[in-house]
Chain A
Amino acid sequence: MAQTTLGPNFYQQVFADAPVIVCCLAPDGSTVAINPAGERLTGYRAEELTGHNFWRVLFPEDDYKQIVQSVLDTLKEVDLLDYEMTVTTKDGFPRIISWSLIGRYEGDELVEIIGFGNDLTERRQAEQERERLLHAHEHRSRHLQLAAEVATSVSTLLDTQELIVQTVEKIKEAFDYYYVGLFLVDETGEYAELRAGTGQAGEEMIEAGHKLKVGDGSMIGWSIANGLPRIALDVGQDAVHFSNPRLPDTRSEVALPLISRGQRIGALTFQSTAEAAFTDSDLAILSVMAEQLAVAIENTRLYEQVQQHAAHLEKRVAERTAELTAVNKELEAFAYSVSHDLRAPLRAIDGFSQALLEDYASSLDAAGLDYLHRVRTATRRMGQLISDLLKLSRLTRGEMHRERVDLSTLASEVLTDLATLQPERQLDCIIAPGLAVEGDIRLLRVALENLLGNAWKFTSKLPLAQIEFGQTEIDGERVFFVRDNGAGFDMTYVDKLFGAFQRLHAVNEFEGTGIGLATVQRVIHRHGGRIWAEGKVEQGATFYFTLQG
Protein backbone atom coordinates (compact mmCIF):
# COMPACT_ATOMS: atom_id res chain seq x y z
CA MET A 1 0.00 0.00 0.00
CA ALA A 2 1.36 3.38 -0.98
CA GLN A 3 2.36 5.61 1.87
CA THR A 4 0.54 8.91 1.81
CA THR A 5 2.83 11.73 2.73
CA LEU A 6 2.56 15.44 2.74
CA GLY A 7 5.11 15.96 0.02
CA PRO A 8 6.71 19.32 -0.80
CA ASN A 9 4.08 20.00 -3.53
CA PHE A 10 1.10 19.09 -1.38
CA TYR A 11 -0.34 22.58 -0.97
CA GLN A 12 0.15 23.37 -4.61
CA GLN A 13 -1.52 20.15 -5.52
CA VAL A 14 -4.53 20.89 -3.32
CA PHE A 15 -4.77 24.39 -4.77
CA ALA A 16 -4.70 22.99 -8.27
CA ASP A 17 -7.10 20.04 -7.77
CA ALA A 18 -9.65 21.50 -5.33
CA PRO A 19 -13.18 21.27 -6.78
CA VAL A 20 -14.07 24.56 -5.12
CA ILE A 21 -12.85 28.06 -5.92
CA VAL A 22 -9.71 28.91 -3.98
CA CYS A 23 -8.41 32.42 -4.30
CA CYS A 24 -5.99 34.73 -2.59
CA LEU A 25 -6.81 38.43 -2.47
CA ALA A 26 -4.87 41.45 -1.32
CA PRO A 27 -6.46 43.50 1.47
CA ASP A 28 -7.77 45.98 -1.12
CA GLY A 29 -9.63 43.16 -2.92
CA SER A 30 -7.29 42.81 -5.89
CA THR A 31 -6.75 39.25 -6.98
CA VAL A 32 -3.41 37.69 -6.17
CA ALA A 33 -4.10 34.12 -7.28
CA ILE A 34 -7.06 31.91 -8.27
CA ASN A 35 -7.12 28.17 -8.81
CA PRO A 36 -8.33 26.30 -11.93
CA ALA A 37 -11.74 25.60 -10.36
CA GLY A 38 -12.11 29.35 -9.95
CA GLU A 39 -11.19 29.87 -13.60
CA ARG A 40 -13.70 27.21 -14.67
CA LEU A 41 -16.59 28.59 -12.65
CA THR A 42 -16.11 32.25 -13.41
CA GLY A 43 -15.10 31.79 -17.01
CA TYR A 44 -12.12 34.11 -16.50
CA ARG A 45 -8.54 32.93 -16.85
CA ALA A 46 -6.25 33.60 -13.88
CA GLU A 47 -4.35 36.22 -15.89
CA GLU A 48 -7.59 38.11 -16.54
CA LEU A 49 -8.25 38.34 -12.82
CA THR A 50 -4.81 38.76 -11.30
CA GLY A 51 -4.14 42.33 -10.37
CA HIS A 52 -7.82 43.31 -10.86
CA ASN A 53 -10.25 43.85 -8.05
CA PHE A 54 -11.92 40.53 -7.53
CA TRP A 55 -15.35 41.97 -6.67
CA ARG A 56 -15.29 44.57 -9.34
CA VAL A 57 -14.90 41.92 -12.03
CA LEU A 58 -17.24 39.27 -10.67
CA PHE A 59 -19.95 41.49 -9.25
CA PRO A 60 -20.34 44.14 -11.91
CA GLU A 61 -23.82 45.08 -10.79
CA ASP A 62 -22.73 45.93 -7.25
CA ASP A 63 -20.69 48.73 -5.70
CA TYR A 64 -17.41 46.80 -5.21
CA LYS A 65 -15.93 49.40 -2.87
CA GLN A 66 -18.76 48.94 -0.50
CA ILE A 67 -18.32 45.16 -0.63
CA VAL A 68 -14.63 45.42 0.09
CA GLN A 69 -15.26 47.73 2.99
CA SER A 70 -17.94 45.52 4.49
CA VAL A 71 -15.71 42.39 4.06
CA LEU A 72 -12.78 44.09 5.75
CA ASP A 73 -14.99 45.34 8.56
CA THR A 74 -16.49 41.93 9.15
CA LEU A 75 -13.16 40.11 9.04
CA LYS A 76 -12.02 42.28 11.93
CA GLU A 77 -14.81 40.78 13.98
CA VAL A 78 -14.81 37.14 12.85
CA ASP A 79 -12.26 34.53 11.90
CA LEU A 80 -14.39 33.10 9.14
CA LEU A 81 -16.89 34.95 6.97
CA ASP A 82 -19.58 32.85 5.32
CA TYR A 83 -22.07 34.25 2.85
CA GLU A 84 -23.81 33.46 -0.36
CA MET A 85 -23.42 35.70 -3.33
CA THR A 86 -24.15 35.38 -7.00
CA VAL A 87 -21.28 36.08 -9.35
CA THR A 88 -21.63 37.02 -12.98
CA THR A 89 -19.50 34.83 -15.20
CA LYS A 90 -17.52 36.12 -18.10
CA ASP A 91 -20.38 34.95 -20.37
CA GLY A 92 -22.80 37.00 -18.30
CA PHE A 93 -24.53 34.10 -16.53
CA PRO A 94 -25.28 34.23 -12.85
CA ARG A 95 -23.80 31.57 -10.57
CA ILE A 96 -24.75 31.17 -6.99
CA ILE A 97 -21.66 30.71 -4.88
CA SER A 98 -21.32 30.02 -1.18
CA TRP A 99 -18.30 31.99 -0.02
CA SER A 100 -16.01 31.43 2.98
CA LEU A 101 -13.40 34.11 3.60
CA ILE A 102 -10.51 33.96 6.02
CA GLY A 103 -8.30 36.95 6.85
CA ARG A 104 -4.56 36.31 7.36
CA TYR A 105 -2.86 38.74 9.69
CA GLU A 106 0.72 39.55 10.56
CA GLY A 107 0.38 41.07 13.96
CA ASP A 108 -2.71 43.30 13.71
CA GLU A 109 -2.29 43.92 10.05
CA LEU A 110 -4.34 42.09 7.47
CA VAL A 111 -2.03 40.88 4.82
CA GLU A 112 -4.24 38.77 2.64
CA ILE A 113 -7.68 37.27 2.27
CA ILE A 114 -8.07 33.60 1.40
CA GLY A 115 -11.39 32.82 -0.20
CA PHE A 116 -13.18 29.54 -0.88
CA GLY A 117 -16.18 29.45 -3.15
CA ASN A 118 -18.56 26.53 -3.51
CA ASP A 119 -20.88 26.51 -6.54
CA LEU A 120 -24.47 26.05 -5.40
CA THR A 121 -26.11 27.01 -8.69
CA GLU A 122 -27.38 23.55 -9.63
CA ARG A 123 -28.41 22.68 -6.13
CA ARG A 124 -30.30 25.94 -5.84
CA GLN A 125 -31.95 25.42 -9.22
CA ALA A 126 -33.02 21.92 -8.21
CA GLU A 127 -34.38 23.32 -4.99
CA GLN A 128 -36.27 25.98 -6.87
CA GLU A 129 -37.67 23.42 -9.27
CA ARG A 130 -38.75 21.32 -6.35
CA GLU A 131 -40.38 24.35 -4.76
CA ARG A 132 -42.15 25.13 -8.00
CA LEU A 133 -43.38 21.55 -8.42
CA LEU A 134 -44.46 21.40 -4.84
CA HIS A 135 -46.35 24.61 -5.23
CA ALA A 136 -48.00 23.44 -8.44
CA HIS A 137 -48.93 20.19 -6.79
CA GLU A 138 -50.42 21.96 -3.81
CA HIS A 139 -52.35 24.24 -6.10
CA ARG A 140 -53.71 21.31 -8.02
CA SER A 141 -54.63 19.26 -5.02
CA ARG A 142 -56.35 22.27 -3.49
CA HIS A 143 -58.42 22.62 -6.65
CA LEU A 144 -59.14 18.91 -6.76
CA GLN A 145 -60.35 19.06 -3.22
CA LEU A 146 -62.55 22.01 -4.08
CA ALA A 147 -63.82 20.13 -7.10
CA ALA A 148 -64.67 17.22 -4.85
CA GLU A 149 -66.48 19.57 -2.48
CA VAL A 150 -68.46 20.98 -5.37
CA ALA A 151 -69.24 17.46 -6.54
CA THR A 152 -70.47 16.46 -3.10
CA SER A 153 -72.64 19.49 -2.76
CA VAL A 154 -74.09 19.12 -6.25
CA SER A 155 -74.98 15.51 -5.68
CA THR A 156 -76.95 16.27 -2.53
CA LEU A 157 -79.07 19.13 -3.87
CA LEU A 158 -82.43 18.31 -5.39
CA ASP A 159 -83.48 21.76 -6.55
CA THR A 160 -82.06 22.79 -9.94
CA GLN A 161 -81.92 26.52 -9.26
CA GLU A 162 -80.36 26.08 -5.83
CA LEU A 163 -77.86 23.64 -7.31
CA ILE A 164 -76.58 25.94 -10.03
CA VAL A 165 -76.51 29.07 -7.87
CA GLN A 166 -74.53 27.29 -5.16
CA THR A 167 -72.18 25.71 -7.66
CA VAL A 168 -71.18 28.91 -9.45
CA GLU A 169 -70.58 30.60 -6.09
CA LYS A 170 -68.45 27.71 -4.88
CA ILE A 171 -66.36 27.61 -8.05
CA LYS A 172 -65.80 31.35 -8.01
CA GLU A 173 -64.69 31.23 -4.40
CA ALA A 174 -62.58 28.11 -4.79
CA PHE A 175 -60.66 29.25 -7.86
CA ASP A 176 -60.75 32.92 -6.99
CA TYR A 177 -62.19 33.87 -10.37
CA TYR A 178 -63.51 37.28 -11.26
CA TYR A 179 -66.85 35.94 -12.43
CA VAL A 180 -68.57 32.57 -12.98
CA GLY A 181 -71.83 32.23 -14.88
CA LEU A 182 -74.07 29.36 -15.93
CA PHE A 183 -76.29 29.29 -18.97
CA LEU A 184 -79.02 26.74 -19.72
CA VAL A 185 -80.51 26.16 -23.15
CA ASP A 186 -84.17 27.20 -23.27
CA GLU A 187 -87.05 25.00 -24.43
CA THR A 188 -86.73 26.10 -28.06
CA GLY A 189 -83.03 25.20 -28.11
CA GLU A 190 -82.33 28.57 -29.75
CA TYR A 191 -81.11 30.54 -26.77
CA ALA A 192 -78.93 29.95 -23.75
CA GLU A 193 -80.37 31.81 -20.77
CA LEU A 194 -78.17 33.00 -17.93
CA ARG A 195 -79.53 31.11 -14.92
CA ALA A 196 -76.83 31.87 -12.36
CA GLY A 197 -74.05 34.45 -12.18
CA THR A 198 -71.82 35.56 -9.37
CA GLY A 199 -71.70 38.97 -7.80
CA GLN A 200 -73.62 42.07 -8.67
CA ALA A 201 -72.84 41.62 -12.37
CA GLY A 202 -74.56 38.22 -12.31
CA GLU A 203 -77.52 39.58 -10.40
CA GLU A 204 -78.00 42.44 -12.84
CA MET A 205 -77.68 40.24 -15.91
CA ILE A 206 -80.19 37.72 -14.61
CA GLU A 207 -82.50 40.57 -13.73
CA ALA A 208 -82.16 41.83 -17.30
CA GLY A 209 -82.92 38.36 -18.70
CA HIS A 210 -79.46 38.00 -20.28
CA LYS A 211 -79.43 35.35 -22.98
CA LEU A 212 -77.17 34.41 -25.86
CA LYS A 213 -78.01 32.81 -29.16
CA VAL A 214 -76.78 29.23 -29.53
CA GLY A 215 -74.31 29.46 -32.41
CA ASP A 216 -71.01 31.06 -33.32
CA GLY A 217 -71.68 34.61 -32.10
CA SER A 218 -70.40 34.27 -28.53
CA MET A 219 -68.03 32.04 -26.60
CA ILE A 220 -71.00 30.50 -24.74
CA GLY A 221 -73.02 30.15 -27.94
CA TRP A 222 -70.08 28.59 -29.76
CA SER A 223 -69.28 26.24 -26.89
CA ILE A 224 -72.88 24.94 -26.75
CA ALA A 225 -73.24 24.71 -30.53
CA ASN A 226 -69.99 22.76 -30.88
CA GLY A 227 -70.03 20.86 -27.58
CA LEU A 228 -66.44 21.94 -26.98
CA PRO A 229 -64.57 24.15 -24.49
CA ARG A 230 -63.35 27.52 -25.71
CA ILE A 231 -60.56 29.51 -24.17
CA ALA A 232 -59.72 33.15 -24.69
CA LEU A 233 -56.52 34.03 -22.91
CA ASP A 234 -55.48 37.21 -24.64
CA VAL A 235 -57.52 40.32 -24.21
CA GLY A 236 -56.07 42.12 -27.15
CA GLN A 237 -56.68 39.46 -29.76
CA ASP A 238 -60.09 38.39 -28.52
CA ALA A 239 -61.35 41.75 -27.34
CA VAL A 240 -64.80 41.27 -28.74
CA HIS A 241 -65.61 38.69 -26.10
CA PHE A 242 -64.60 40.87 -23.22
CA SER A 243 -66.78 43.78 -24.13
CA ASN A 244 -69.28 43.14 -21.34
CA PRO A 245 -69.61 46.52 -19.58
CA ARG A 246 -70.68 44.78 -16.37
CA LEU A 247 -67.42 42.78 -16.31
CA PRO A 248 -64.83 45.38 -17.29
CA ASP A 249 -61.84 43.67 -15.66
CA THR A 250 -62.03 40.35 -17.46
CA ARG A 251 -58.70 39.49 -19.07
CA SER A 252 -59.19 35.79 -19.79
CA GLU A 253 -62.20 33.56 -20.14
CA VAL A 254 -63.09 29.90 -20.51
CA ALA A 255 -66.43 28.62 -21.75
CA LEU A 256 -67.22 24.96 -21.04
CA PRO A 257 -70.24 23.13 -22.45
CA LEU A 258 -72.59 21.25 -20.10
CA ILE A 259 -73.31 17.89 -21.66
CA SER A 260 -75.53 15.27 -20.09
CA ARG A 261 -76.27 11.97 -21.83
CA GLY A 262 -75.11 13.48 -25.12
CA GLN A 263 -77.47 16.45 -24.75
CA ARG A 264 -75.95 19.95 -24.71
CA ILE A 265 -77.95 21.49 -21.95
CA GLY A 266 -75.95 24.70 -21.42
CA ALA A 267 -72.51 26.11 -20.68
CA LEU A 268 -70.35 27.59 -17.94
CA THR A 269 -68.25 30.72 -18.23
CA PHE A 270 -65.23 31.34 -16.00
CA GLN A 271 -63.60 34.75 -16.13
CA SER A 272 -60.42 36.00 -14.55
CA THR A 273 -58.70 39.34 -14.21
CA ALA A 274 -55.36 37.64 -14.91
CA GLU A 275 -54.32 37.45 -18.53
CA ALA A 276 -53.53 33.74 -18.65
CA ALA A 277 -55.37 32.45 -15.66
CA PHE A 278 -56.29 29.03 -16.95
CA THR A 279 -53.67 26.29 -16.75
CA ASP A 280 -54.18 22.90 -18.35
CA SER A 281 -54.59 21.43 -14.93
CA ASP A 282 -57.31 23.99 -14.06
CA LEU A 283 -59.09 23.19 -17.29
CA ALA A 284 -58.98 19.47 -16.60
CA ILE A 285 -60.53 19.99 -13.18
CA LEU A 286 -63.14 22.43 -14.46
CA SER A 287 -64.09 19.99 -17.23
CA VAL A 288 -64.63 17.18 -14.74
CA MET A 289 -66.71 19.53 -12.64
CA ALA A 290 -68.75 20.60 -15.67
CA GLU A 291 -69.47 16.95 -16.47
CA GLN A 292 -70.62 16.26 -12.94
CA LEU A 293 -72.65 19.42 -12.85
CA ALA A 294 -74.40 18.58 -16.13
CA VAL A 295 -75.43 15.19 -14.79
CA ALA A 296 -76.50 16.73 -11.49
CA ILE A 297 -78.64 19.31 -13.31
CA GLU A 298 -80.29 16.57 -15.33
CA ASN A 299 -80.93 14.62 -12.13
CA THR A 300 -82.49 17.54 -10.33
CA ARG A 301 -84.64 18.22 -13.39
CA LEU A 302 -85.77 14.59 -13.44
CA TYR A 303 -86.37 14.73 -9.71
CA GLU A 304 -88.46 17.86 -10.17
CA GLN A 305 -90.40 16.15 -12.93
CA VAL A 306 -91.00 13.13 -10.71
CA GLN A 307 -92.10 15.47 -7.93
CA GLN A 308 -94.49 17.19 -10.30
CA HIS A 309 -95.85 13.87 -11.47
CA ALA A 310 -96.28 12.76 -7.88
CA ALA A 311 -98.06 15.98 -6.97
CA HIS A 312 -100.24 15.61 -10.02
CA LEU A 313 -101.02 12.01 -9.15
CA GLU A 314 -101.77 12.95 -5.57
CA LYS A 315 -104.16 15.59 -6.80
CA ARG A 316 -105.79 13.06 -9.12
CA VAL A 317 -106.09 10.58 -6.29
CA ALA A 318 -107.62 13.23 -4.04
CA GLU A 319 -110.10 14.13 -6.77
CA ARG A 320 -110.98 10.53 -7.44
CA THR A 321 -111.31 9.84 -3.74
CA ALA A 322 -113.67 12.78 -3.41
CA GLU A 323 -115.66 11.47 -6.37
CA LEU A 324 -115.73 7.99 -4.92
CA THR A 325 -116.75 9.29 -1.52
CA ALA A 326 -119.58 11.18 -3.16
CA VAL A 327 -120.64 8.11 -5.12
CA ASN A 328 -120.46 6.01 -1.97
CA LYS A 329 -122.63 8.51 -0.16
CA GLU A 330 -125.13 8.35 -2.99
CA LEU A 331 -125.01 4.59 -2.89
CA GLU A 332 -125.62 4.62 0.80
CA ALA A 333 -128.55 6.95 0.36
CA PHE A 334 -129.80 4.63 -2.35
CA ALA A 335 -129.47 1.58 -0.17
CA TYR A 336 -131.22 3.37 2.62
CA SER A 337 -134.11 4.37 0.42
CA VAL A 338 -134.26 0.83 -1.00
CA SER A 339 -134.61 -0.56 2.45
CA HIS A 340 -137.47 1.80 3.20
CA ASP A 341 -139.21 2.64 0.00
CA LEU A 342 -139.11 -0.63 -1.90
CA ARG A 343 -140.30 -2.66 1.01
CA ALA A 344 -143.39 -0.58 1.76
CA PRO A 345 -145.22 -1.34 -1.51
CA LEU A 346 -144.20 -4.99 -1.26
CA ARG A 347 -145.65 -5.15 2.17
CA ALA A 348 -148.87 -3.61 0.84
CA ILE A 349 -149.04 -6.16 -2.01
CA ASP A 350 -148.49 -9.04 0.36
CA GLY A 351 -150.75 -7.64 3.07
CA PHE A 352 -153.70 -6.98 0.79
CA SER A 353 -153.26 -10.30 -0.96
CA GLN A 354 -153.51 -11.90 2.45
CA ALA A 355 -156.54 -9.73 3.26
CA LEU A 356 -158.13 -10.93 0.02
CA LEU A 357 -157.39 -14.54 0.89
CA GLU A 358 -158.85 -14.12 4.33
CA ASP A 359 -161.90 -12.01 3.57
CA TYR A 360 -162.81 -12.94 0.02
CA ALA A 361 -161.67 -16.54 -0.36
CA SER A 362 -165.24 -17.64 -0.94
CA SER A 363 -165.61 -15.34 -3.96
CA LEU A 364 -162.59 -16.77 -5.70
CA ASP A 365 -162.18 -20.02 -7.57
CA ALA A 366 -159.18 -22.29 -7.28
CA ALA A 367 -157.25 -20.47 -10.03
CA GLY A 368 -157.88 -17.06 -8.36
CA LEU A 369 -156.64 -18.40 -5.07
CA ASP A 370 -153.58 -19.89 -6.79
CA TYR A 371 -152.79 -16.55 -8.42
CA LEU A 372 -152.99 -14.78 -5.10
CA HIS A 373 -150.67 -17.34 -3.54
CA ARG A 374 -148.24 -16.77 -6.40
CA VAL A 375 -148.44 -13.04 -5.84
CA ARG A 376 -147.52 -13.59 -2.21
CA THR A 377 -144.68 -15.98 -3.03
CA ALA A 378 -143.22 -13.55 -5.52
CA THR A 379 -143.55 -10.69 -3.08
CA ARG A 380 -141.73 -12.52 -0.34
CA ARG A 381 -139.03 -13.52 -2.72
CA MET A 382 -138.53 -9.92 -3.74
CA GLY A 383 -138.45 -8.99 -0.06
CA GLN A 384 -135.68 -11.56 0.39
CA LEU A 385 -133.79 -10.21 -2.59
CA ILE A 386 -133.92 -6.71 -1.19
CA SER A 387 -132.68 -7.93 2.19
CA ASP A 388 -129.81 -9.85 0.62
CA LEU A 389 -128.91 -6.91 -1.59
CA LEU A 390 -128.79 -4.67 1.44
CA LYS A 391 -126.57 -7.15 3.27
CA LEU A 392 -124.22 -7.18 0.32
CA SER A 393 -124.07 -3.41 0.17
CA ARG A 394 -123.43 -3.25 3.90
CA LEU A 395 -120.38 -5.46 3.50
CA THR A 396 -118.70 -2.87 1.31
CA ARG A 397 -119.52 -0.10 3.70
CA GLY A 398 -118.28 0.03 7.26
CA GLU A 399 -114.71 -0.28 8.47
CA MET A 400 -112.69 -3.47 8.73
CA HIS A 401 -111.68 -4.51 12.21
CA ARG A 402 -108.73 -6.82 11.87
CA GLU A 403 -108.06 -9.30 14.61
CA ARG A 404 -106.95 -12.89 15.01
CA VAL A 405 -109.74 -15.17 13.85
CA ASP A 406 -109.89 -18.95 14.26
CA LEU A 407 -111.56 -20.04 11.03
CA SER A 408 -111.85 -23.65 12.27
CA THR A 409 -113.92 -22.63 15.28
CA LEU A 410 -115.98 -20.30 13.13
CA ALA A 411 -116.67 -23.11 10.63
CA SER A 412 -117.72 -25.51 13.43
CA GLU A 413 -120.12 -22.94 14.84
CA VAL A 414 -121.68 -22.31 11.44
CA LEU A 415 -122.12 -26.03 10.72
CA THR A 416 -123.56 -26.66 14.18
CA ASP A 417 -126.14 -23.92 13.56
CA LEU A 418 -127.05 -25.48 10.22
CA ALA A 419 -127.34 -28.96 11.72
CA THR A 420 -129.59 -27.67 14.50
CA LEU A 421 -132.06 -26.39 11.92
CA GLN A 422 -132.22 -29.77 10.15
CA PRO A 423 -131.31 -32.39 12.77
CA GLU A 424 -132.62 -35.20 10.57
CA ARG A 425 -129.81 -34.82 8.01
CA GLN A 426 -126.85 -37.21 7.95
CA LEU A 427 -123.57 -35.30 7.80
CA ASP A 428 -119.99 -36.42 7.57
CA CYS A 429 -117.94 -33.32 8.22
CA ILE A 430 -114.20 -32.72 8.48
CA ILE A 431 -112.84 -29.46 9.80
CA ALA A 432 -109.07 -28.99 9.94
CA PRO A 433 -108.24 -27.65 13.40
CA GLY A 434 -106.48 -24.43 14.34
CA LEU A 435 -106.66 -22.49 11.07
CA ALA A 436 -106.09 -18.98 12.35
CA VAL A 437 -105.87 -15.80 10.26
CA GLU A 438 -105.91 -12.04 10.68
CA GLY A 439 -109.21 -10.58 9.56
CA ASP A 440 -112.59 -9.08 10.35
CA ILE A 441 -114.48 -11.76 12.23
CA ARG A 442 -117.91 -10.38 11.31
CA LEU A 443 -117.13 -10.46 7.59
CA LEU A 444 -115.37 -13.83 7.73
CA ARG A 445 -118.36 -15.33 9.52
CA VAL A 446 -120.64 -14.08 6.72
CA ALA A 447 -118.28 -15.66 4.16
CA LEU A 448 -118.21 -19.03 5.92
CA GLU A 449 -121.96 -18.93 6.52
CA ASN A 450 -122.48 -18.57 2.80
CA LEU A 451 -119.87 -21.13 1.70
CA LEU A 452 -120.87 -23.77 4.25
CA GLY A 453 -124.54 -22.83 3.80
CA ASN A 454 -124.14 -23.54 0.09
CA ALA A 455 -122.42 -26.84 0.78
CA TRP A 456 -125.23 -27.72 3.16
CA LYS A 457 -127.90 -26.70 0.65
CA PHE A 458 -126.42 -28.45 -2.37
CA THR A 459 -125.93 -31.74 -0.51
CA SER A 460 -129.51 -31.74 0.82
CA LYS A 461 -130.64 -34.41 -1.65
CA LEU A 462 -127.94 -36.89 -0.68
CA PRO A 463 -128.39 -39.55 2.00
CA LEU A 464 -124.97 -38.67 3.42
CA ALA A 465 -123.55 -35.18 2.98
CA GLN A 466 -119.80 -34.76 3.08
CA ILE A 467 -118.52 -31.29 3.87
CA GLU A 468 -114.88 -30.42 4.43
CA PHE A 469 -113.17 -27.23 5.52
CA GLY A 470 -109.39 -27.25 5.30
CA GLN A 471 -106.19 -25.69 4.17
CA THR A 472 -103.71 -26.52 1.44
CA GLU A 473 -100.74 -24.88 -0.25
CA ILE A 474 -100.72 -23.86 -3.89
CA ASP A 475 -97.54 -22.33 -5.34
CA GLY A 476 -96.28 -21.53 -1.84
CA GLU A 477 -99.48 -19.72 -0.95
CA ARG A 478 -101.79 -20.63 1.89
CA VAL A 479 -105.17 -21.55 0.45
CA PHE A 480 -108.36 -22.45 2.36
CA PHE A 481 -111.12 -24.54 0.86
CA VAL A 482 -114.69 -25.67 1.42
CA ARG A 483 -115.52 -28.92 -0.34
CA ASP A 484 -118.77 -30.85 -0.65
CA ASN A 485 -120.05 -33.92 -2.50
CA GLY A 486 -123.28 -32.22 -3.56
CA ALA A 487 -124.89 -31.10 -6.79
CA GLY A 488 -121.74 -29.38 -8.07
CA PHE A 489 -121.84 -27.28 -11.20
CA ASP A 490 -120.85 -27.18 -14.82
CA MET A 491 -117.39 -25.57 -15.17
CA THR A 492 -118.67 -23.86 -18.35
CA TYR A 493 -120.52 -21.42 -16.12
CA VAL A 494 -117.79 -20.98 -13.52
CA ASP A 495 -117.45 -17.30 -14.47
CA LYS A 496 -121.03 -16.64 -13.48
CA LEU A 497 -120.71 -18.12 -10.01
CA PHE A 498 -119.68 -14.96 -8.23
CA GLY A 499 -121.96 -12.44 -9.95
CA ALA A 500 -124.83 -10.95 -7.93
CA PHE A 501 -128.19 -12.61 -8.69
CA GLN A 502 -126.46 -15.23 -10.84
CA ARG A 503 -127.80 -18.69 -10.22
CA LEU A 504 -126.82 -21.99 -11.75
CA HIS A 505 -129.82 -23.89 -10.33
CA ALA A 506 -133.55 -23.40 -10.67
CA VAL A 507 -135.31 -21.88 -7.68
CA ASN A 508 -137.55 -24.89 -7.29
CA GLU A 509 -134.47 -27.14 -7.25
CA PHE A 510 -132.43 -25.23 -4.68
CA GLU A 511 -133.72 -21.97 -3.29
CA GLY A 512 -131.65 -18.82 -2.97
CA THR A 513 -131.30 -15.34 -4.32
CA GLY A 514 -127.91 -15.66 -5.97
CA ILE A 515 -126.29 -13.14 -3.68
CA GLY A 516 -124.37 -15.52 -1.43
CA LEU A 517 -121.23 -16.07 -3.50
CA ALA A 518 -121.12 -12.41 -4.56
CA THR A 519 -121.12 -11.64 -0.87
CA VAL A 520 -118.33 -14.16 -0.19
CA GLN A 521 -116.25 -12.72 -2.99
CA ARG A 522 -116.65 -9.24 -1.62
CA VAL A 523 -115.52 -10.36 1.83
CA ILE A 524 -112.48 -12.13 0.39
CA HIS A 525 -111.58 -9.12 -1.76
CA ARG A 526 -111.85 -6.81 1.21
CA HIS A 527 -109.29 -9.06 2.88
CA GLY A 528 -106.98 -8.75 -0.11
CA GLY A 529 -107.56 -12.36 -1.13
CA ARG A 530 -108.86 -14.27 -4.16
CA ILE A 531 -111.60 -16.85 -4.56
CA TRP A 532 -112.18 -19.48 -7.23
CA ALA A 533 -114.10 -22.69 -7.60
CA GLU A 534 -113.91 -26.15 -9.13
CA GLY A 535 -116.84 -28.45 -9.66
CA LYS A 536 -118.56 -31.12 -11.72
CA VAL A 537 -122.25 -31.69 -12.12
CA GLU A 538 -123.46 -34.13 -9.42
CA GLN A 539 -119.91 -34.63 -8.19
CA GLY A 540 -119.56 -31.83 -5.71
CA ALA A 541 -117.84 -28.46 -5.62
CA THR A 542 -114.72 -27.01 -4.02
CA PHE A 543 -114.37 -23.31 -3.24
CA TYR A 544 -110.81 -22.09 -2.70
CA PHE A 545 -109.88 -18.76 -1.18
CA THR A 546 -106.83 -16.89 0.05
CA LEU A 547 -106.63 -14.15 2.65
CA GLN A 548 -103.85 -11.61 2.82
CA GLY A 549 -102.01 -11.02 6.06
Chain B
Amino acid sequence: MTELILFLVCVGSAYALLSKDLLHGAIALSATSVLSALLFFILKAPDVAITEAAVGAGVSTVIFVWAIRETERKDRS
Protein backbone atom coordinates (compact mmCIF):
# COMPACT_ATOMS: atom_id res chain seq x y z
CA MET B 1 0.00 0.00 0.00
CA THR B 2 2.78 2.41 0.97
CA GLU B 3 4.69 1.61 -2.21
CA LEU B 4 1.60 2.01 -4.38
CA ILE B 5 0.81 5.44 -2.95
CA LEU B 6 4.43 6.53 -3.25
CA PHE B 7 4.49 5.38 -6.88
CA LEU B 8 1.34 7.41 -7.60
CA VAL B 9 2.92 10.43 -5.89
CA CYS B 10 6.02 10.04 -8.10
CA VAL B 11 3.88 9.81 -11.23
CA GLY B 12 1.82 12.84 -10.27
CA SER B 13 4.90 14.92 -9.53
CA ALA B 14 6.57 13.96 -12.80
CA TYR B 15 3.38 14.86 -14.66
CA ALA B 16 3.26 18.24 -12.89
CA LEU B 17 6.79 19.00 -14.08
CA LEU B 18 6.27 17.73 -17.65
CA SER B 19 2.80 18.97 -18.61
CA LYS B 20 2.54 21.94 -20.95
CA ASP B 21 -0.46 23.31 -19.09
CA LEU B 22 0.56 24.72 -15.71
CA LEU B 23 -2.98 24.43 -14.34
CA HIS B 24 -2.96 20.68 -14.94
CA GLY B 25 0.31 20.58 -13.01
CA ALA B 26 -1.23 22.45 -10.07
CA ILE B 27 -4.14 19.99 -9.94
CA ALA B 28 -1.73 17.04 -10.14
CA LEU B 29 0.30 18.45 -7.23
CA SER B 30 -2.88 18.91 -5.24
CA ALA B 31 -3.80 15.27 -5.88
CA THR B 32 -0.34 14.10 -4.80
CA SER B 33 -0.78 16.10 -1.59
CA VAL B 34 -4.03 14.31 -0.84
CA LEU B 35 -2.33 10.97 -1.51
CA SER B 36 0.55 11.93 0.80
CA ALA B 37 -1.96 12.86 3.49
CA LEU B 38 -3.50 9.39 3.16
CA LEU B 39 -0.03 7.88 3.42
CA PHE B 40 0.75 9.89 6.57
CA PHE B 41 -2.45 8.60 8.11
CA ILE B 42 -1.46 5.03 7.25
CA LEU B 43 2.00 5.68 8.74
CA LYS B 44 0.39 6.72 12.09
CA ALA B 45 1.09 10.43 11.73
CA PRO B 46 -2.38 12.03 12.00
CA ASP B 47 -0.99 15.49 12.85
CA VAL B 48 1.13 15.58 9.71
CA ALA B 49 -1.81 14.22 7.70
CA ILE B 50 -4.10 17.08 8.78
CA THR B 51 -1.41 19.65 7.99
CA GLU B 52 -0.60 18.14 4.61
CA ALA B 53 -4.26 17.92 3.62
CA ALA B 54 -4.98 21.52 4.62
CA VAL B 55 -1.74 23.01 3.31
CA GLY B 56 -1.07 20.90 0.24
CA ALA B 57 -4.57 20.50 -1.10
CA GLY B 58 -5.92 23.83 0.17
CA VAL B 59 -3.59 26.75 0.63
CA SER B 60 -0.79 25.90 -1.79
CA THR B 61 -3.29 25.09 -4.56
CA VAL B 62 -4.85 28.52 -4.05
CA ILE B 63 -1.40 30.09 -4.32
CA PHE B 64 -0.46 28.13 -7.45
CA VAL B 65 -3.79 28.83 -9.17
CA TRP B 66 -3.46 32.53 -8.27
CA ALA B 67 0.04 32.67 -9.76
CA ILE B 68 -1.09 30.92 -12.95
CA ARG B 69 -4.13 33.17 -13.31
CA GLU B 70 -2.08 36.31 -12.82
CA THR B 71 0.69 35.30 -15.20
CA GLU B 72 0.26 32.78 -18.00
CA ARG B 73 -1.18 29.31 -18.21
CA LYS B 74 1.01 27.66 -20.85
CA ASP B 75 4.61 26.63 -20.37
CA ARG B 76 6.06 27.91 -23.64
CA SER B 77 9.59 26.54 -23.26
A binds B: no
Residues of A within 8 A of B (CB): none
